[in-house]
Structure 1
Amino acid sequence: MRRTILVTGVLGAALAIPSVAGAEPDVPDAGIRKSVHTIEPGKFVRGIDLSKAVVPLETEEDNGRQVTVRLSADVLFDFGKATLTRTAERRVSELAERLRDVGGTVEVSGHTDSVGDDDYNLTLSKRRAEAVKAGLERALGGARIRIEAKGHGETEPVAPNEKGGDDNPDGRAKNRRVDITYEKG
């Protein structure tokens, strides 16, 4: 069973967050037009046209015994960063409430697209998984739930990063994600 959940509150707040000084502006992704406007040297703000968004911000897959919640990294983190946004912190806290009665280990898996160096992507995916794990632990306030964080870099894509040798922005956007998998209690 697959459900797609639109998280408009997270998206609305995430769009208002500027990139950090020194970050390079990213290229158009996922059918979302991003335009970069320089505010002052080294700082950027991305304007996003949502009318063409094709990548769900959150999905949930339930096979009867195990649930995987897939969160778009584009909503959780600023470009190239591994610190949860304030809005992402709230979403992770909401998700943590569902984990209180989980049996077994909760696995947090970070993933990237194929743009960039393999080592950089692996490190970034690990740092992002650790950030979500830490957010879950904070929200759970000492509850005895075992959470493991793993980074997979670009090694487990859910969509092709390229099609016919050409860049596939929609596929790359789907690959930039954090999956939270747990056994039903």
Structure 2
Amino acid sequence: MKFVTAIALFCASVSLASAQSPITYTDAAGGEVILPLGDLSFADAVVARTIGSGRIAASAETPDVTLGAPDYSGDVDDGSFLSLGCDGSVDLLFADNALIDVPGPDLYVFEVGPRVEGMFLAISEDGQEWTEVGAITGGRAEVDIAGRSTPGASYRYVRLTDDGEGCGTNFAGADVDAVAAIGTALRFTLDAAVLFDVDSSALRPEALAEINAVASQIAAANVASINVIGHTDSTGSDAYNMTLSLQRATSVRAQLLQTTALANLSIATTGRGELEPIASNETDAGRQANRRVEIIAVPN
């Protein structure tokens, strides 16, 4: 059984005051983890859920409780966590940030409940092609994606799957309170309809204000590098879309470099064409969402 929520196209505005303030969080076992981007580090949306077998108490059936910062009170009936069920899974989306590989642990899973169960982790850039990272075991669920991740990649999705063992409680399967990226970058998403005319990579006059606003936020952050990534819908040929997406990313990069504070930063460009949709290309609204430029800003 699948549980799917609609994914909105997140706008460019991010509160960098909170984003740039590291916060220490405590897990259910009393351990601590420091997240460099504070509350922005946590998953933002549930994409899908496969309900596993076994008994799941009503208080632990809601997938959306896995979003945001951990809030488990110690009472197993407090409704703060999702029980996956035996062999169940949940797919989560990072919208205003991106999971990246950094030295040391990259992801932290706040697993709670009456006992600790194992899980398997997979990550994805587009929600279609998944990379299996491996098992998450023990009470301190921090994961290093090095060796599994593609160098320079930024991941939008994570999938947690219960390992199918120890499912004989009233909260079958692993119990997930929150999921956070330790290795994380800021993600800004700009609507291509605001930036460009149809089939054009020349910035519209009104695009300058949008890009300059993002540039100001990046300049206020302690950022080491930037990657500007162009995306299209599936209209047109693969080759045409790849070229157009790269040209649009290049135009946005040129405007970012007009900001004095960003002039000396490393700003790369990537064209992804139609390869990474965030919505269905079968509808006008979905195609509009897929036509976008993303700016991934990696903190120092």
| TM-score interval, normalised by the smaller of the two chains | 0.5 to 0.7
State the SS of the aligned residue for 2:263: coil
Shift of 1:143: 3.1
Map residues 16-55 of structure 1 onto 2, 5 A cutoff: none
- 1:140 is aligned to 260
Picking from 234, 251, 260, the partner of 1:114 is 234
Deviations 1:67-86 (A, max 9, x none): 11111101110111001111
- Would you say 1:90 and 2:209 are equivalent positions? yes
Does the Cα contact within 8 Å between 2:234 and 2:274 map onto a contact in 1?
yes
- Would you say 1:75 and 2:75 are equivalent positions? no
- Aligned-residue sequence identity (percent) comes to 35
Does the Cα contact within 8 Å between 2:256 and 2:262 map onto a contact in 1?
no
Cα separation, partners in 2 of 1:125 and 1:3, compared to 1, 3 Å: closer
- 2:296 is aligned to 181
Shift of 1:121: 0.6
Shift of 1:144: 1.7
Q: RMSD of the TM alignment (CA)?
A: 2.4
- 2:222 is aligned to 102
Q: Which amino acid aligns with 1:174?
A: A
- 1:61 is aligned to 96
Q: Which amino acid aligns with 2:294?
A: D
Q: Residues of 2 paired with 1:6 and 1:107: CA distance?
A: 15
Shift of 1:5: 4.5
- Equivalent residues, number: 127
Does the Cα contact within 8 Å between 2:12 and 2:190 map onto a contact in 1?
no
Picking from 146, 155, 169, the partner of 2:275 is 155
Shift of 1:160: 1.7
Q: Which amino acid aligns with 1:127?
A: Q
Shift of 1:142: 6.3
- 2:286 is aligned to 171
Decide which moves more: 108-117 or 63-72.
63-72
Q: Residues of 1 paired with 2:241 and 2:186: CA distance?
A: 26
- 1:39 is aligned to none
Picking from 223, 248, 253, the partner of 1:128 is 248
Shift of 1:104: 2.3
Shift of 1:184: 3.5
Does the Cα contact within 8 Å between 1:3 and 1:61 map onto a contact in 2?
no
Point out where structure 2 has 5 or more consecutive residues left out of the alignment.
1-7, 14-94, 98-180
Higher helix share: 1
Point out where structure 1 has 5 or more consecutive residues left out of the alignment.
8-59, 163-167
Does the Cα contact within 8 Å between 2:11 and 2:189 map onto a contact in 1?
no
Deviations 1:36-78 (A, max 9, x none): xxxxxxxxxxxxxxxxxxxxxxxx6136742111111011101
